[in-house]
C-alpha cells in the first residue's frame, strides 16, 4: 500500500510516526483514510476540497497537478511539500 | 495534458537543438524598434503618478484629496476606497497564491502603511508634471508607529506588529498567537541530535544577508484602457500576462474574460515582475476618466516599493566524521517577508542541504514581517541566502579535515536516489557531474599566487518548475511557421522555444516566426519564471510541432493518393515507403496546402511533470585591496548542469547573468535604511550593482545530464547560477585574508573591519 511521509510539524497527530502505510487509490482516499486514523489530519492539508494553497503533494518525487484526483499506486511514496514557484 | 518522466527521446544527433541561431527579436532590440511598456502611446493618454508613504510604519488617519482635485490638469485621484473590498482569502494566481486582502493593501495602502514608499493614492492628469504637482496637494494625516526592520527583532514577542491580527501558521495549524512570524516550516530526517553527538567535526555559524533588489533595468509600467463595453486592456512589462490578468480581475471583481493583458517587451524581471503594482491603478484610473492612463515608475519607486528579495538570518550547523562523511546538519532560517507575508523561507529550507547526501537533518524556517517592501522572487528565491550559510560551513569543515573542497563535496554529493531533507528522493541529477567538471576545469587546475588572493568554491541547487504553457503554430505557404506563445521573452526564449518546434519539423530555426501575444490570443500560459519557459513552453511547441507533423503526413498522403501509413517523415523530408520516387520537403508540402485541405495549424497545451532540478558549482579567485577593502574578482567559472542546452549562447548568457547578480549580492548590493526605516539608497548611484568594470569575463562550463522528463532533456537554466557566488566569494575571501565572512554583502567597509580586526593581515 502507499506510504505517506508525515511532515514533522504534523507528527503530533500520528503519535510521532514518520511514515504511515495507508490504503487508498487516489490522493483524496489516502487523506480520508489518514483522517480516519488520525483525526485533524485532513484540515491541515486540505482547504475547501483542494490541497491548501502554498502546499503541494509529491508522488514519488513528482509534484502532482491533478490535486485530490491524483492516482496513488500501492508502492508510491506520498509527500506533502511546500509549493515552489521561482523567479 | 499530463506527461510522464519517460518522455526523454535520448537523441544526440540534433539538427537545430544545440545550435546558435541569431535571435528572432534581435534586430528590433538592437535598433530600438522593440516596443516596451513606456513606449505605448494612444490618443487621449493620461499620465499617472503614485503618492507614496514617507514613513515605514504608520496608521493612516485621513486622506484629503480636495486640493489636488482642484488642480486644472488632474482628471482623477484614487485611494484604496476605489478598489473593491476583498475577502481575507488566498487566491491561486497562476504561479503561486496570494492573500487578496494583502494584495489589495499593497497596491494601495488600507489603514496602515507598512514600508517607506508604500502606495497611498494615485493621480491621473493631462501631463506628468501636473500629476506630480497634484501629489504634493494631497494631505495624508499619519500617526507614526515604531518600525521594525531587523528580522530577529521582529520575531520578539514584544515587537511592534505590522498586521495586527497576524498569527503564525505551522503546516496548516494556526498557533493563535499574534506575531510577525507568519509561517513556520520544519523538515526532519533521521536523528540530527544523535548524529552530531557522534560526529568528529562540528561547525556552527550564524549568517546575515541583506535585502537586495533584482535590478532589472526597465522600471515597472502599466497602461490601462477601460472600454465603454466594460472590458479593460492593460499593456505592461510583466513576466506573466495571465497572472496579471488574474490579479487585476480578482482585485477589481471582474471575470477574467473582461481583462486583456498585452505583454510588451520586458527589460528584465528575475522574479520581480510577477506581482501587480501599477496595473490595477491604471485600470481604475482609466475607468474613472474614460481615457487611457499610463503609469511608469522611477528607479527610486522601484527600489522603495517593489519586491526585493528577502534579507535573512541563518544559523547553520553541520557535522562530519574524520573519514570525510557528512553525517548531520541543522539549520534555522528566518527570512524577511517585508510588509506582507511571503514565501521564500520554504524553498530556502528545502535547498540549503539539498546538494548533499546527509542522513540526519533538522531544518526550521520562518517567514517574518518587517517594515520593508513585500519581498518577491529573485532567481532561485531563498536558495542563495541558504547556500551562503551551508557552503561556508562546508568550506570550514574541509579546512579542518584538510580535504580538497571539491573532492569533499563530490564524496558527499546528492545523486539519483538520495533523499532530500524535505522527503522526496532525487531522480537523475547532475551535481556530481558539475563537481567533476569543476575539478577538471583549467581554472581549478591553475595556480593562484600573490598576497591577499584566494580561491573559493561553492555549489547550489534549485528545483525548477513545470507549470502550464500553450502554443499554436500556423504553417505558411512559403514553408515558414508562425508560432504564437504566451511566455514573455526575457532571455531569448522566443528562439529556444522556436528551435524545439523547428527540430521536430526538420526546418531551420530561422523559418519559425515566434510571437509573444496577449491573453486573448493564446491559451493559458504561466509566468516566465522558475526556469520553466524553455522546459514547458518549449514542450508545448514540441507538441504543437507533433500536431503539425501528424497533419502534414496526411496531406502528403492525399497529394500522392496513398495511405498515411505509407508516408514517413524524417528531418523535414516526406517519403513514400512503397515508392522511393515520391519525396517532398516540408517547404514543398507547405506550398501545396491549398490543394490538400487548406490552412494547417498545430497546437498544444501542456502541464508537464518531469521537472529536472539543477545544480551548479562555482570556482572564483579574488584579490583583496588592503587599503580600500575592495574585493576584486580575478576569475570566475560556473559549471552548471543544464540538462540539454537548446541554444548554448543563451544558456551561457543566463549562467553569466546569474553569476554577475550573485557577485553583486556578495560584494556590494544592500538596502540601507535609516533608523526611521526610510530607504537611504534609492538610486542606482547609491544602490551599487556590479558593472562590466567590476567583473572579468565570466567563464561557463555547460554540463549536460539530460533530464529524463523532457523530450530533449531540458532542465531549465535561469535560476541556479545565482546561488553559489556569495558563498564561493566568501570562501575565497577566507583564503585571501583568513576571516570567515558571515554577513552579506562583503562590502569594502566589512572587509576593512575584518582586516583591522586581524591587524591587517592573515593570521
CB spacing of A58 vs B173 below 8 angstroms: no
Rounded to an integer, the average pLDDT of A46-69 is: 93
Strand A46-47, strand A50-51: pairing:
antiparallel
**Are residues B623 and B577 located together in one domain of the fold?**
no
From chain B, pick out residues whose CB is under 8 angstroms from the CB of A84. 346-347, 350, 463, 465, 530
- The number of angstroms, rounded, from the C-alpha of B180 to the middle of its chain's C-alpha atoms is 25
Check residue B413 and report its DSSP letter. B
pLDDT computed for residue B1 by the predictor: 42
pLDDT exceeds 70 at position B516 = yes
Rounded to an integer, the average pLDDT of A13-36 is: 97
pLDDT exceeds 60 at position B350 = yes
pLDDT computed for residue B343 by the predictor: 75
Rounded to an integer, the average pLDDT of B117-127 is: 98
C-alpha dist (Å) from residue A51 to A69, A70, B345, B389, B462: 11, 11, 20, 32, 23
pLDDT computed for residue B481 by the predictor: 98
CB spacing of A82 vs B422 below 8 angstroms: yes
B762 Cβ contact partners less than 8 Å away, ≥ 6 residues apart: B736, B737, B738
pLDDT computed for residue B762 by the predictor: 47
pLDDT exceeds 70 at position A86 = yes
Domain tally for chain B? 2
Residue ranges of the domains in chain A?
3-82
From chain A, pick out residues whose CB is under 8 angstroms from the CB of B707. none
Residues B386-424: tens digit of each pLDDT = 999 999 999 999 999 999 999 999 999 999 999 999 999
Element (H, E) at B569: strand B567-570
**Are residues B656 and B675 located together in one domain of the fold?**
yes
Tell me if B318 is assigned to some domain. Answer: no
pLDDT computed for residue B95 by the predictor: 63
Q: Give the sign of the dihedral formed by CA B442, CA B446, CA B459, CA B321.
A: positive
Quick check: B378 contacting A, CB < 8 Å? yes
From chain B, pick out residues whose CB is under 8 angstroms from the CB of A85. 95-96, 343, 377, 381, 465, 527, 529-530
pLDDT exceeds 60 at position B691 = yes
C-alpha–C-alpha distance, residues B581 and B575, integer Å: 8
Nearest CA in chain B to A41: B172
Tell me if B491 is assigned to some domain. Answer: yes
Q: What is the CATH number of domain A3-82?
A: 3.10.20.30
Nearest CA in chain B to A7: B187
What residues pair up with B583 in beta bridges, in sequence order?
B575
Rounded to an integer, the average pLDDT of B143-170 is: 97
In 3D, which of B525, B534, B532, B523 has the Cα closest to residue B466? B532
Q: Which of B92, B96, B172, B342 to mutate to test the interface with A (most CBs of A within 10 A)?
A: B172
Cβ contact B205:B196 at 8 Å: no
Strand B481-485, strand B512-516: pairing:
parallel
Tell me if B568 is assigned to some domain. Answer: yes
Among B170, B376, B427, whose Cβ lies nearest the Cβ of A9?
A: B170
C-alpha dist (Å) from residue B547 to B557, B570, B601, B626: 16, 15, 8, 63
Nearest CA in chain B to A52: B172
To the nearest whole angstrom, how far is the Cα of A65 from the nearest Cα of chain B? 7
From chain A, pick out residues whose CB is under 8 angstroms from the CB of B612. none
In 3D, which of B491, B452, B324, B453 has the Cα closest to residue B400? B324
**Are residues B502 and B443 located together in one domain of the fold?**
no
CB spacing of B422 vs A54 below 8 angstroms: no
Among A5, A44, A86, whose Cβ lies nearest the Cβ of B423?
A: A5
Chain B 197-216, CB below 8 Å of chain A: which residues? 214
CATH number of the CATH domain containing B514: 3.30.365.10
C-alpha–C-alpha distance, residues B743 and B555, integer Å: 65
Q: Which of B90, B170, B171, B414 to mutate to test the interface with A (most CBs of A within 10 A)?
A: B171
From chain B, pick out residues whose CB is under 8 angstroms from the CB of A87. 214, 269-272, 376-381, 529-530, 718-719
Among A18, A54, A60, whose Cβ lies nearest the Cβ of B343?
A: A54
CB spacing of A9 vs B5 below 8 angstroms: no
CB spacing of B463 vs A60 below 8 angstroms: no
pLDDT computed for residue B763 by the predictor: 43
Tell me if B283 is assigned to some domain. Answer: no
CB spacing of B350 vs A81 below 8 angstroms: yes
Tell me if B643 is assigned to some domain. Answer: yes
Check residue B12 and report its DSSP letter. -
**Residue B151: strand, helix, or coil:** helix
pLDDT computed for residue B88 by the predictor: 79
**Are residues B532 and B589 located together in one domain of the fold?**
yes
Rounded to an integer, the average pLDDT of B111-115 is: 98
Residues B22-39: tens digit of each pLDDT = 999 999 999 999 999 999
**Are residues B548 and B460 located together in one domain of the fold?**
no
CB spacing of B346 vs A55 below 8 angstroms: no
Cβ contact B614:B462 at 8 Å: yes
CB spacing of B2 vs A66 below 8 angstroms: yes
Tell me if B352 is assigned to some domain. Answer: no
CB spacing of B172 vs A52 below 8 angstroms: yes
Which of the four pLDDT bands, split at 50, 70 and 90, describes residue B93?
A: confident
Instruction: Count residue pairs from A and B with Cβ separation < 8 A.
Output: 116
From chain B, pick out residues whose CB is under 8 angstroms from the CB of A82. 185, 343, 346-347, 349-350, 422
Tell me if B485 is assigned to some domain. Answer: yes
Nearest CA in chain A to B349: A82
B596 Cβ contact partners less than 8 Å away, ≥ 6 residues apart: B555, B558, B559
Check residue B9 and report its DSSP letter. -
Among B173, B379, B423, whose Cβ lies nearest the Cβ of A87?
A: B379
The neighbour count for residue B177, using CB atoms within 10 Å, is: 10
- The number of angstroms, rounded, from the C-alpha of B327 to the middle of its chain's C-alpha atoms is 32
CB spacing of A5 vs B381 below 8 angstroms: no
Residue B706: which domain range?
427-464+611-757
CB spacing of A58 vs B90 below 8 angstroms: no
From chain B, pick out residues whose CB is under 8 angstroms from the CB of A43. 172
Cβ contact B625:B632 at 8 Å: yes
C-alpha–C-alpha distance, residues B454 and B741, integer Å: 13
Average pLDDT of every residue of chain A: 95
**Are residues B453 and B474 located together in one domain of the fold?**
no
Check residue B358 and report its DSSP letter. -
Among A9, A62, A86, whose Cβ lies nearest the Cβ of B271?
A: A86
**Are residues B459 and B524 located together in one domain of the fold?**
no
pLDDT exceeds 90 at position B277 = yes
Q: Which of A7, A43, A49, A86 to mutate to test the interface with B (most CBs of B within 10 A)?
A: A86
**Are residues B626 and B507 located together in one domain of the fold?**
no
pLDDT exceeds 60 at position B574 = yes
**Are residues B687 and B751 located together in one domain of the fold?**
yes
Among B2, B377, B423, whose Cβ lies nearest the Cβ of A87?
A: B377
CB spacing of A8 vs B378 below 8 angstroms: no
pTM higher than 0.80: yes
To the nearest whole angstrom, how far is the Cα of B383 from the nearest Cα of chain A? 10
Instruction: Specify the length of chain A in residues.
Output: 87
Composition of chain B by helix, strand, coil, percent to 5: 30, 25, 45
Check residue B722 and report its DSSP letter. G
- Judged by average pLDDT, the poorest of B84-98, B230-244, B499-513 is B84-98
C-alpha dist (Å) from residue B360 to A17, B207, B349, B421, B541: 16, 22, 15, 8, 43
CB spacing of A82 vs B343 below 8 angstroms: yes
**Are residues B627 and B742 located together in one domain of the fold?**
yes
From chain A, pick out residues whose CB is under 8 angstroms from the CB of B271. 86-87
Tell me if B103 is assigned to some domain. Answer: no
| Percent with pLDDT over 90 in chain B | 95
Domain finish residue from B582, B606, B630? B606
pLDDT computed for residue B94 by the predictor: 64
CB spacing of A86 vs B463 below 8 angstroms: yes
Which of the four pLDDT bands, split at 50, 70 and 90, describes residue B760?
A: low
pLDDT exceeds 70 at position B139 = yes
**Are residues B460 and B575 located together in one domain of the fold?**
no
Nearest CA in chain B to A42: B172
Exposed/middle/buried for residue B343 (C-beta within 10 Å: 0-12, 13-18, 19+): buried
Strand B293-296, strand B221-226: pairing:
antiparallel
Does the model's ipTM exceed the 0.95 cut? yes
Domain finish residue from B606, B638, B671? B606
Average pLDDT of every residue of chain B: 96
Q: B471-489 in b/e burial notation, b at 16+ Cβ within 10 A? A: bbbbbbeebbbebbbbbbb
**Are residues B488 and B583 located together in one domain of the fold?**
yes
C-alpha–C-alpha distance, residues B541 and B583, integer Å: 26
pLDDT computed for residue B708 by the predictor: 95
Rounded to an integer, the average pLDDT of B726-744 is: 98
Rounded to an integer, the average pLDDT of B731-735 is: 98
From chain B, pick out residues whose CB is under 8 angstroms from the CB of A81. 350, 422-424
Q: From chain A, which residues contact B within 8 Å (Cβ)?
A: 5, 7-10, 18, 43-45, 47, 52-55, 58, 60-63, 65-66, 77, 79-87
Among B427, B529, B607, whose Cβ lies nearest the Cβ of A65?
A: B607
From chain B, pick out residues whose CB is under 8 angstroms from the CB of A10. 171-173
Rounded to an integer, the average pLDDT of B600-613 is: 96
CB spacing of B377 vs A85 below 8 angstroms: yes
Domain finish residue from B606, B631, B658? B606
Torsion of CA B284, B285, B286, B288, to 10 degrees: 90
Cβ contact B179:B168 at 8 Å: yes
**B44-B277-B48 Cα angle (round to 5):** 30
Nearest CA in chain A to B1: A65
The neighbour count for residue B762, using CB atoms within 10 Å, is: 16
C-alpha dist (Å) from residue B373 to B53, B637, B723, B740: 12, 33, 22, 30
Cβ contact B744:B314 at 8 Å: no
pLDDT exceeds 60 at position B715 = yes
Amino acid at each position: 500500500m502507499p506510504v505517506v511521509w508525515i511532515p514533522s510539524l504534523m507528527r503530533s497527530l500520528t503519535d510521532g510516526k514518520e511514515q504511515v502505510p495507508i490504503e487508498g487509490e487516489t490522493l483524496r482516499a489516502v487523506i480520508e483514510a489518514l483522517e480516519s486514523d488520525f483525526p485533524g489530519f485532513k484540515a491541515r492539508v486540505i482547504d475547501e476540497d483542494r490541497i491548501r494553497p502554498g502546499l503541494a503533494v509529491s508522488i514519488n518525487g513528482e509534484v502532482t497537478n491533478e490535486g485530490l484526483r491524483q492516482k496513488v499506486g500501492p508502492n508510491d511514496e506520498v509527500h506533502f511539500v511546500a509549493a515552489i514557484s521561482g523567479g | 495534458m499530463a506527461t510522464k518522466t519517460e518522455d526523454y527521446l535520448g537523441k544526440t544527433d540534433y539538427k537545430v537543438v544545440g545550435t546558435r541561431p541569431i535571435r528572432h527579436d534581435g534586430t528590433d532590440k538592437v535598433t530600438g524598434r522593440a516596443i516596451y511598456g513606456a513606449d505605448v502611446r494612444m490618443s487621449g493618454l493620461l499620465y499617472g503618478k503614485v503618492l507614496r508613504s514617507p514613513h515605514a510604519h504608520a496608521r493612516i488617519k485621513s486622506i484629503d484629496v480636495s486640493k489636488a482635485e482642484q488642480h486644472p490638469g488632474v482628471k482623477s485621484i484614487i485611494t484604496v476606497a476605489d478598489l473593491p473590498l476583498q475577502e481575507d482569502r488566498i487566491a491561486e494566481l497562476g504561479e503561486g497564491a496570494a492573500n487578496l486582502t494583502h494584495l489589495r493593501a499593497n497596491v494601495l495602502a488600507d489603514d496602515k502603511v507598512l514600508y517607506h514608499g508604500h502606495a497611498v493614492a494615485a493621480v491621473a492628469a493631462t501631463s506628468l508634471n501636473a500629476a506630480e504637482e497634484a501629489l504634493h496637494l494631497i494631505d495624508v494625516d499619519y500617526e507614526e508607529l515604531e518600525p521594525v526592520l531587523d528580522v530577529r527583532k521582529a520575531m520578539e514577542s514584544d515587537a511592534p506588529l505590522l498586521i495586527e491580527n497576524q498569527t503564525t501558521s505551522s503546516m496548516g495549524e494556526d498557533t493563535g498567537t499574534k506575531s510577525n512570524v507568519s509561517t513556520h516550516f520544519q523538515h526532519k530526517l533521521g536523528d540530527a541530535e544523535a548524529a552530531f553527538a557522534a560526529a568528529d567535526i562540528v561547525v556552527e555559524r550564524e549568517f546575515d544577508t541583506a535585502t537586495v533588489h533584482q535590478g532589472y533595468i526597465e522600471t515597472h509600467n502599466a497602461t490601462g484602457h477601460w472600454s465603454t463595453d466594460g472590458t479593460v486592456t492593460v499593456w505592461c512589462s510583466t513576466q506573466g500576462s495571465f497572472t496579471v490578468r488574474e490579479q487585476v480581475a480578482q482585485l477589481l471583481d471582474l471575470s477574467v474574460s473582461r481583462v486583456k493583458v498585452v505583454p510588451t517587451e520586458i527589460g528584465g524581471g528575475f522574479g520581480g515582475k510577477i506581482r501587480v503594482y501599477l496595473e490595477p491603478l491604471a485600470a481604475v484610473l482609466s475607468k474613472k476618466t474614460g481615457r487611457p492612463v499610463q503609469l511608469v515608475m522611477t528607479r527610486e519607486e522601484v527600489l522603495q516599493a517593489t519586491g526585493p528579495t528577502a534579507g535573512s538570518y541563518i544559523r547553520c550547523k553541520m557535522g562530519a566524521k574524520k573519514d570525510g562523511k557528512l553525517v548531520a546538519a541543522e539549520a534555522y532560517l528566518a527570512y524577511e517577508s517585508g510588509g506582507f507575508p511571503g514565501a521564500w523561507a520554504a524553498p530556502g529550507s528545502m535547498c540549503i542541504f539539498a546538494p548533499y547526501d546527509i542522513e540526519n537533518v533538522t531544518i526550521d524556517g520562518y517567514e517574518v514581517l518587517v517594515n520593508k517592501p513585500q519581498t518577491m522572487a529573485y532567481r532561485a528565491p531563498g536558495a542563495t541566502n541558504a547556500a551562503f550559510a551551508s557552503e561556508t560551513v562546508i568550506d570550514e569543515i574541509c579546512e579542518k579535515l584538510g580535504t580538497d573542497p571539491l573532492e569533499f563535496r563530490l564524496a558527499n554529493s546528492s545523486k539519483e536516489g538520495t533523499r532530500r531533507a524535505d522527503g522526496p528522493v532525487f531522480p537523475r541529477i547532475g551535481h556530481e557531474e558539475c563537481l567533476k567538471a569543476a575539478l577538471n576545469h583549467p581554472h581549478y587546475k591553475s595556480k593562484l599566487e600573490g598576497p591577499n588572493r584566494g580561491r573559493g568554491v561553492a555549489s547550489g541547487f534549485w528545483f525548477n518548475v513545470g507549470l502550464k504553457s500553450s502554443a499554436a503554430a500556423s504553417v505558411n505557404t512559403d514553408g515558414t511557421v508562425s508560432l504564437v506563445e504566451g511566455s514573455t521573452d526575457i532571455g531569448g526564449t522566443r528562439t529556444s522555444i522556436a528551435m524545439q518546434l523547428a527540430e521536430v519539423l526538420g526546418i531551420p530555426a530561422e523559418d519559425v516566426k515566434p510571437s509573444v501575444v496577449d491573453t486573448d490570443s493564446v491559451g493559458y500560459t504561466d509566468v516566465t519564471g522558475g526556469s520553466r519557459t524553455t522546459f514547458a513552453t518549449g514542450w508545448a511547441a514540441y507538441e504543437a510541432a507533433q500536431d503539425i507533423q501528424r497533419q502534414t503526413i496526411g496531406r502528403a498522403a492525399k497529394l500522392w493518393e496513398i495511405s498515411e501509413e505509407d508516408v514517413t517523415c524524417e528531418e523535414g523530408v516526406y517519403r513514400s515507403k512503397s515508392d522511393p520516387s515520391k519525396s517532398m520537403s516540408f517547404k514543398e508540402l507547405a506550398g501545396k496546402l491549398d490543394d490538400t485541405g487548406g490552412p494547417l495549424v498545430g497546437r498544444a497545451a501542456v502541464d508537464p511533470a518531469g521537472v529536472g532540478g539543477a545544480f551548479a558549482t562555482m570556482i572564483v579567485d579574488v584579490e583583496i585591496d588592503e587599503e580600500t577593502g575592495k574585493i576584486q574578482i580575478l576569475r570566475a567559472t560556473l559549471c552548471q548542469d543544464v540538462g540539454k542546452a537548446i541554444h548554448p549562447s543563451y544558456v551561457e548568457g543566463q549562467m553569466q547573468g546569474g553569476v554577475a547578480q550573485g557577485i553583486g549580492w556578495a560584494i556590494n548590493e544592500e538596502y540601507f535604511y535609516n533608523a526611521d526605516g526610510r530607504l537611504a539608497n534609492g538610486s542606482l548611484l547609491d544602490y551599487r550593482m556590479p558593472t562590466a568594470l567590476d567583473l572579468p569575463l565570466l567563464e561557463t562550463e555547460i554540463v549536460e545530464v539530460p533530464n529524463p522528463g523532457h523530450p530533449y532533456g531540458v532542465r531549465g537554466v535561469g535560476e541556479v547560477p545565482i546561488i553559489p557566488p556569495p558563498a564561493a566569494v566568501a570562501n575565497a575571501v577566507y583564503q585571501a585574508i583568513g576571516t570567515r565572512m558571515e554577513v552579506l554583502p562583503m562590502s569594502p567597509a566589512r572587509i576593512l573591519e575584518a582586516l583591522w580586526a586581524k591587524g591587517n593581515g592573515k593570521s
